[in-house]
Amino acid sequence: MAQVIPSSEISKHVDEEVTLQGWLYNRRGSKKLHFLEVRDGFGIIQCVMSKNAVDEATFAAAGELAQETSLHITGTVTAHPKKEGVYELKATGLEVVGVPTDPYPITPKEHGVEFLMDHRHLWLRSKRQHAVLRVRHAVVRAVREYFDEHDFTLIDAPIFTPNAVEGTSTLFETEYHGQSAYLTQSGQLYMEAGAAAFGKVYCFGPTFRAEKSKTRRHLQEFWMVEPEVAFMDLDGVMDLAEDFVCYVVARVLETRRADLEILERDISALEAVQKPFPRIHYTDAVAQIQKARPEDSEAPPLEWGSDFGGEDETLLSQGYDRPVMVHRYPAAVKAFYMKRDPGDDRLALGVDMLAPEGYGEIIGGGQRESDLEVLDAAIAHHGLPPEAFGWYRDLRRFGTFPHGGFGMGIERMVAWLCKLPHVRETIPFPRMLNRLSP
RNA sequence: UCCGGCUUAGCUCAGUCGGUAGAGCAAGUGGCUGUUAACCACUGGGUCGCUGGUUCGAGUCCAGCAGCCGGAGCCA
């Protein structure tokens, strides 16, 4: 073996003899020439083995390699004769590490969704999945960078929670030493406590929703980042969300352009994501959607006071090349903790950010109710158990303060950035309505 | 929970009017010195999702069930 290098650094070793360690991705060849595509986790390199460059046994062994055989391959780095900027390895040695016991199930041809999901642990090795998950990593890193660089303190929210806050139908219940507990649906209430202690906080972790949803936008387990800021009003929340999304998109474009190209993503659509984003009042949004609805639409008529469906969100965002923010929804369709609009009691100071290209809601947030009496009335109005909110009410009892924040779903963000048809490919091991494994 | 669609070889699919099972890929064998979802030839491979019904005869028609996919509601 020569010096082992990752395939991502091959351009720095032209004319040197190096070793790659990885797995056979694909093989083509003839009696006297083998083309071995070797995948090492960092990329894929074509290794060319001529019959006259190696001994007979090595050449024969290379011709029998099965897909996903693990191996060390040694050779001289050269420029690809036909492709500019692409390097390949003129193989001089091959060492097989692990021979597959059975044919690899994922072939270079097409497969169906169910088959691929059953083999998700192997599917991760494929080129496109590799690209998607590297974009996901870049999003996660950008999220942390943004908040860390803007004086936010990371406050981890608990995953076990004691009480049902937004109705038990969408909660996963579990046993907790003799009492029932639920997996968290949101860290927000805890972030409000954090904001009172640290001013600017965020949490980032898995979130669980037992929704009977099987659409392209839903997972049972997904990751959400939730910032919360003391003394921030609705306009401040929108400023923050806009600045944050621009930063994440820019960082992904900066660091993962090659992966977006593998996914054949239209990069100019992402480059258009610049401040300011349109801010549309709910009432105006309803009018725009009503106007944009095709006459043969099968959706129920949209009236002032109702929430938007997926189709409505797509119609609304269609006219824009960047995300739009819809603010001041009817309080009746929003959570109990949202502050009422002082200018119109029917409205809540909430905001949803809708991604372009039909990806729908990627951010939901707003200003929180800070008046104890109003909050108590809202808890009662929503039929929630007051005893569950003892500590939460304390935040209003001891130095109440205006504050707000939002939650962003990582998977929907990644699906949009990669322009994927479904969020299931944006998380390594998706948990869906009918899938708990692998 | 509701609405619609799908289920045939390891995988992706075709299968006409109801007449007894097909292709490509994968696997195996052989050929080919620049291939790149390589190509060419040959070989093996089937409980047509399950149960029941109609019929001389069902992959095909009917009913029930199951699984999957998409959508609605709900949400990030």
- Nearest nucleotide over every DNA/RNA strand to the A435 CA, judged by C1': B68
The gap between A7 CA and B71 C1' (Å) is 43
- Nearest nucleotide over every DNA/RNA strand to the A115 CA, judged by C1': B11
**Res A46: pLDDT:** 93
Task: Tell me the C-alpha distance between A113 and A250, whole Å.
Answer: 31
Q: What does the block give as tokens for A92? A: 């001089």
User: Which string of DSSP letters, residue by residue, matches A379-391?
Assistant: HHHTT--GGGGHH
Tell me the per-residue pLDDT of A77-102, one tens digit each, with 9 for 90 and over.
999 988 888 999 999 999 999 888 88
**Res A221: pLDDT:** 92
Average pLDDT, whole number, for chain A?
A: 90
Tell me the per-residue pLDDT of A243-263, one tens digit each, with 9 for 90 and over.
999 999 999 999 999 999 989
Residue A166 has pLDDT above 60, yes or no: no
CATH topology classification for A120-426: BirA Bifunctional Protein; domain 2 (3.30.930)
Looking at 3.30.2420.10, 2.40.50.140, 1.10.4190.10, 2.40.30.30, the CATH number of the domain A3-98 comes to 2.40.50.140
- Name the residue ranges covered by the structural domains of chain A: 3-98, 120-426
The gap between A129 CA and B3 C1' (Å) is 32
- Nearest nucleotide over every DNA/RNA strand to the A312 CA, judged by C1': B72
pTM: 0.92
Single out the residue of A279, A322, A282 nearest to residue A302, CA to CA: A282
- Nearest nucleotide over every DNA/RNA strand to the A360 CA, judged by C1': B76
**Res A300: pLDDT:** 64
The gap between A117 CA and B21 C1' (Å) is 29
Beta bridge partners of A22: A71
Question: Cα A388–A394–A395 angle (5° rounding)?
Answer: 110
A308 pLDDT band, cuts 50/70/90, is confident
- Give percent of chain A above pLDDT 70: 97
The gap between A114 CA and B42 C1' (Å) is 33
- Nearest nucleotide over every DNA/RNA strand to the A422 CA, judged by C1': B70
Helices (H), A26-151: 56-63, 113-118, 120-123, 127-149
The gap between A119 CA and B49 C1' (Å) is 20
Q: Is A71 helix (H, G, I), strand (E, B) or coil?
A: strand
**Res A349: pLDDT:** 95
Task: Tell me the C-alpha distance between A344 and A347, whole Å.
Answer: 6
Cis check: omega of the bond before A301, within 30 degrees of 0? no
The gap between A212 CA and B45 C1' (Å) is 40
The gap between A103 CA and B26 C1' (Å) is 8
Single out the residue of A70, A402, A69 nearest to residue A236, CA to CA: A402
A299 pLDDT band, cuts 50/70/90, is low
Q: Higher pLDDT residue, A159 or A103?
A: A159
A192 pLDDT band, cuts 50/70/90, is very high
Q: Higher pLDDT residue, A306 or A71?
A: A71
- Nearest nucleotide over every DNA/RNA strand to the A363 CA, judged by C1': B76
Nucleotides of B under 7 A from a protein CB: 1, 10-13, 24-28, 31-38, 67-76
The gap between A384 CA and B52 C1' (Å) is 50
- Nearest nucleotide over every DNA/RNA strand to the A310 CA, judged by C1': B72
| Nearest protein residue, CA measured to C1' of B36 | A28
**Long-range pairs, A386-391, Cβ under 8 A, ≥24:** A388/A162, A388/A163, A388/A164, A388/A165, A391/A193
The gap between A138 CA and B22 C1' (Å) is 47
Residue A291 has pLDDT above 90, yes or no: no
Residue A167 has pLDDT above 80, yes or no: no
The gap between A119 CA and B44 C1' (Å) is 26
DSSP state of A51: G
Q: Higher pLDDT residue, A136 or A433?
A: A136
Task: Tell me the C-alpha distance between A317 and A330, whole Å.
Answer: 19
The gap between A214 CA and B51 C1' (Å) is 28
Residue A363 has pLDDT above 80, yes or no: yes
A169 pLDDT band, cuts 50/70/90, is low
DSSP state of A297: -
**Res A165: pLDDT:** 59
The gap between A109 CA and B12 C1' (Å) is 8
A309 pLDDT band, cuts 50/70/90, is confident
- Nearest nucleotide over every DNA/RNA strand to the A117 CA, judged by C1': B68
**Res A259: pLDDT:** 93
DSSP state of A11: G
Single out the residue of A160, A158, A142, A138 nearest to residue A150, CA to CA: A142
Q: Higher pLDDT residue, A102 or A272?
A: A272
Q: Which of A53-62, A148-157, A207-216, A400-409 has the lowest mean pLDDT?
A: A207-216
- Nearest nucleotide over every DNA/RNA strand to the A207 CA, judged by C1': B76
**Res A283: pLDDT:** 92
| Nearest protein residue, CA measured to C1' of B27 | A103
Tell me the per-residue pLDDT of A368-392, one tens digit each, with 9 for 90 and over.
999 999 999 988 888 888 888 889 9
